[in-house]
Structure 1
Amino acid sequence: MLDLLPHETAAIGIRWSLKTRCRRLCRILGGDTKMNKLLRQSVCALALAVASGVGAQAESLRLLTSWDMTMPANIHIVQDYVKRVQEQSEGEIEITVDGPEVVAAFEQIEPVQAGVFQLLFTHPAYHTSVSWAGFALDSSVDPGPEKRREIGLWDALDEAYNKIGLKLIALPGSGNQGYQFVLSTQPSDGENPFSGLKVRGSPSYKPIIEALGGALVVLPGGETYAAMDRGVVDGAGWPLIGFESTKLSEVAKYYVRPTFGSSTYVLLMNLDAWNGLDADTQKTLLDIGADVERDGFAAFEKLKTEEVERMQEAGMEEYAVSDEAAQRMQEAFVKEQRSTALGAGGDETRKVIDIFEANDL
């Protein structure tokens, strides 16, 4: 697959726009007279001929995702988005998808900024090297996709990503009960149940793991199964949704409760590629983004119950920490995640957290 240059990306929008406008003009020239039929045919033929001559090789966008395609987030967000774009553009825009087997999850932001890939579906914790604005998202109560837009959270994230050469296309959230810990070793009794345990996670898990007495080991998601199987780590922090697809129930014996945080993803686009699209195409891509935010949120709510049922069917046991430890882990997650983000993130991060606090999130 050839990389798209800025003028080639722009040609995608031009071609789609011409085709759309041709249809609108043909409807205006409606009627059954012979003259109108000939006029419609001539106008449409001319417009489509021009469109097909512009950027004939520029019909594909490349999307990177941080997880393999069995993950529910990819199924309900990425696959749904790709399908809707192709349908609404009537095949004029096709999106090809590559995963972490092509570019590792923690290294994906740079090739998208550089335009090697035009789209990225990921989690903000995977690119704190270039932006901290989204890092604190999971520390808030998830108010739902419509409310996130209403209170200005969506726009604040979009503005922050614009500053690093990216455009926010969608901000899908999977609701509350976002994360959990699973362990191959039985936790200790008392106030430090992770004492002596090494637990896999991204940096966002660090405050809770340490608050419960454990040690964080940063690993990409794809390496977690092997690490637990070999005893390199004793457990892992993981989103509740998508746990079954990891097969970690084969190496984990316990799922820890309570869950914590909310789980938020970002669908981003290279800003130059975005600016090369016409207004109609941009609107369509954003409208589809809003649709998958809403529909994905509803699908994730149902999946949470199903995930717990499948863990139990696999023989995993629930381990509930003490009330004191539960309160400590929740407070540690919110406080430390937000303070870490603020300490490293600057004004863009402050704006996001101000929105949380103003809306009791």
Structure 2
Amino acid sequence: MNKTTTPAPRRRFLKSATAGAVGAGAMVAPAIVSAQSPTSMRWQSTWPSKDIFHEYALDFAKKVNDMTGGELKIEVLPAGAVVPAFGLLEAVAKGTLDGGHGVLGYHYGKQNALALWNSGPAFGMDANMLLSWHKYGGGKELLAKLYASIGITTVQSFLYGPMATQPLGWFKKPITKPEDFKGLKFRTNGLAIDLFTAMGAAVNALPGGEIVPAMDRGLLDAAEFNNATSDRLLGFPDVSKICMLQSYHQSAETFEIMFNKPKYDALPEKMRAVIAGAVEAASADMSWKSIDRYSKDYVELKGKDKVKFYKTPDSVLQVQLKLWSAILEKKSSENALFKEIVESQKAFAERAVAWEQDTFVSRRMAVGHFFGAPKKA
């Protein structure tokens, strides 16, 4: 055999190895070329950075960022960073922002029926039941229909995060009767504006970060916002030491997560599925966190901040219910979509609340057994 001749097996090996190397290169190169950078989204909340509500917005963003392995990165700015709190819907619809975190009641001025997801007694439902109606009782479809009626077709909306019943508010002196609201300069939002206006108050719908400064300057006599933690962080105890608990003006409310729809639709199907899961995970986590944090701050408000809490008199609650029924009747006669939403909520509530009332055992009896009668304020 000629020494310069390569044996056939070796020739085949070299040929195979060379082809393999070229093939590997052909596979690796496109992977490197097609590797995409993470999709980034700039969001804004409708809340001041110090409010726990902004923390909830950050919690949701972190869940999405983590669950997508960093393929989607949401950055959430506080209210006013890009647009005013009440300008969030338009900013997301136009694509000025990629998304946002707020509540439907803040869009009240564009279509008052939007506030049916956050104002009033919700026919006896709590916030979690309201979310059940939204997901399974037709609420989601009605919201899309309502948005379309005002030309909002470029927003993908998700509702989540059941809120606890909100206090009646912070006052200079305790509210003892419905007439105490006459002439009172009062802050609220959504359809609660109609309710307290009907009670005789002069209502101003300010975003969260502007309420305490307005009370401090005397532009407001009283105000409500949401919960013990938010109210404490926003500084309510610095301008008032009297808080009235229990009210029907916002006894069932939820948060809204918004995406710019064209940007949302452009995401891979798998990523959109992750977002849907993150919404529900964040909803559960928010409800658990709120119980822990609100109860701690309630203790701090009573102890460290020397706030006096009073139960809203039944006479005030009864007037709220009477006026609410009148508001629903009037607005339903003026707005067909308003009427459709009211009828849908009421039908769902009639079934769900009856089941709940018949099934759930009294927690008040158990609390009295283990901790005794509650101390009066």
Task: Give the TM-score band, short-chain normalised.
Answer: 0.7 to 0.9
Deviation at 1:187, TM superposition (A): 4.2
**2:287 aligns with one of 297, 307, 325:** 297
Alpha-carbon distance in 2 for matches of 1:133, 1:178: 20
* Contact 2:168 2:312 survives alignment (8 Å): no
* Contact 2:112 2:191 survives alignment (8 Å): no
Deviation at 1:161, TM superposition (A): 3.7
Deviations 1:24-79 (A, max 9, x none): xxxxxxxxxxxx9x999975763353133xxx5x7310111100232222223x11
Tell me: CA distance 1:45–1:315, structure 2 relative to 1, closer, same or farther (3 Å).
farther
User: Which residue is equivalent to 2:270?
Assistant: 280
**1:71 aligns with one of 46, 51, 65:** 51
Tell me: CA distance 1:243–1:344, structure 2 relative to 1, closer, same or farther (3 Å).
farther
Deviation at 1:346, TM superposition (A): 4.2
Q: Secondary structure at the match of 1:94?
A: strand
Tell me: CA distance 1:174–1:341, structure 2 relative to 1, closer, same or farther (3 Å).
farther
Deviation at 1:198, TM superposition (A): 0.8
Alpha-carbon distance in 1 for matches of 2:24, 2:54: 42
Tell me: CA distance 1:206–1:278, structure 2 relative to 1, closer, same or farther (3 Å).
same
* Contact 1:211 1:329 survives alignment (8 Å): no
Tell me: CA distance 1:292–1:226, structure 2 relative to 1, closer, same or farther (3 Å).
same
User: Which residue is equivalent to 1:318?
Assistant: 309
User: Which residue is equivalent to 2:342?
Assistant: 353
TM normalised by structure 2 equals 0.74
**2:196 aligns with one of 183, 189, 209:** 209
Alpha-carbon distance in 2 for matches of 1:208, 1:221: 19
Mapping 1:70-109, distance limit 5 Å: 70-76=50-56, 78-102=57-81, 103-109=83-89
Alpha-carbon distance in 2 for matches of 1:232, 1:110: 28
Residue identity opposite 2:215 in structure 1: M
Residue identity opposite 1:95 in structure 2: I
Percent identity between the aligned chains? 19
**1:328 aligns with one of 294, 313, 319:** 319
* Contact 1:86 1:93 survives alignment (8 Å): yes
Alpha-carbon distance in 2 for matches of 1:278, 1:157: 24
Alpha-carbon distance in 1 for matches of 2:287, 2:200: 33
> Does 1:174 find its partner at 2:162?
yes
Deviation at 1:204, TM superposition (A): 2.9
**Greater length-normalized contact order (CA 8 Å, ≥ 6 residues apart):** 1
User: Which residue is equivalent to 1:26?
Assistant: none
User: Which residue is equivalent to 2:245?
Assistant: 257
> Does 1:126 find its partner at 2:106?
yes
Residue identity opposite 1:99 in structure 2: P
* Contact 1:244 1:307 survives alignment (8 Å): yes
Q: Which has the larger radius of gyration?
A: 2
Alpha-carbon distance in 2 for matches of 1:161, 1:271: 13
Deviation at 1:199, TM superposition (A): 0.9
Deviation at 1:136, TM superposition (A): 0.6
Q: Secondary structure at the match of 2:179?
A: coil
Task: In structure 1, list runs of 5 or more residues that go unmatched.
Answer: 1-35
> Does 1:50 find its partner at 2:41?
no
What's the Cα RMSD here? Answer: 3.1
User: Which residue is equivalent to 2:184?
Assistant: 197
Alpha-carbon distance in 2 for matches of 1:101, 1:70: 13
Residue identity opposite 2:184 in structure 1: L
User: Which residue is equivalent to 2:115?
Assistant: 135
* Contact 1:258 1:321 survives alignment (8 Å): yes
Alpha-carbon distance in 2 for matches of 1:125, 1:83: 25
Task: In structure 2, list runs of 5 or more residues that go unmatched.
Answer: 1-19, 351-377
> Does 1:221 find its partner at 2:215?
no
Alpha-carbon distance in 1 for matches of 2:52, 2:325: 25
User: Which residue is equivalent to 2:259?
Assistant: 269
* Contact 2:198 2:323 survives alignment (8 Å): yes
User: Which residue is equivalent to 1:157?
Assistant: 143
Deviation at 1:109, TM superposition (A): 1.6
Tell me: CA distance 1:132–1:269, structure 2 relative to 1, closer, same or farther (3 Å).
farther
Tell me: CA distance 1:280–1:43, structure 2 relative to 1, closer, same or farther (3 Å).
farther
Deviations 1:168-210 (A, max 9, x none): 4431233441343111x21464441223321122243323423
In the alignment of these two chains, the number of paired residues is: 319
Tell me: CA distance 1:354–1:116, structure 2 relative to 1, closer, same or farther (3 Å).
same
TM normalised by structure 1 equals 0.77
Q: Secondary structure at the match of 1:164?
A: coil
User: Which residue is equivalent to 1:20?
Assistant: none
Deviation at 1:153, TM superposition (A): 2.3
Residue identity opposite 2:243 in structure 1: Y
